[in-house]
Structures are given as C-alpha cells and as structure tokens.
Amino acid sequence: MAKRSYTNIDKLGKEIDQMIKEGKTQREIAQFFGFKDKTVVHQYLKRKRKKEKQLMAGILPRRRGRNQVATSRQRGKKIMRLND
C-alpha cells in the first residue's frame, strides 16, 4: 500500500486562484499539482467561497484553540472568576 502524500492546499491558494482566472479547469489544476483527482481543488474552492460569503455577511471566523477569549469584557470576567 502506498503512503499517502499530503499537500497543504492553503499554501497553493494564490496559484490556484491565478489558474482559475486564466480559465483552467479544476481537473487541469489537479493534474498540474499531481493530486489524485479534482475533488481536492473543488473542496478548497468551496471552503474559500464559504469563508468569503460569511465575511460579506459580517460573520467573523471562529477563533480556534484553548483559552482564547474574543473580547476584553469576557477576558475581564474570566480573570475575575479565576481570582476567586
């Protein structure tokens, strides 16, 4: 069984966007980068469009990780709770 190769497609985003503007198909882009099939490119574009749509609607991306508090008010409440 062959070892699965991983490519961080977010790093290729600018190149993919440029190829799309040039009129390349998702299949052609996938073959250029050596992906198994066009699904990788398709899913990347789908995620990108979804993020853009959410930003246009005023929805900010969720922060990830532990103990990350979005606002200073929440941070203050957390500090007070930890000091008790």
The per-residue pLDDT for range 32-52, each reduced to its tens digit, is: 999 988 999 999 999 999 999
pTM (predicted TM-score): 0.68
Contact 31, 19 (CB under 8 A): no
- 39-56 and 26-33 helices, crossing angle to 10°: 120
Tokens encoding 40: 């990788």
Scanning 1-84, the segments in alpha helix (DSSP H) are: 13-21, 26-33, 39-56, 72-83
User: Mean of the pLDDT values across residues 54-65?
Assistant: 82
Does residue 61 carry a pLDDT above 90? Answer: no
Q: How far apart are the first and last CA of the chain?
A: 56
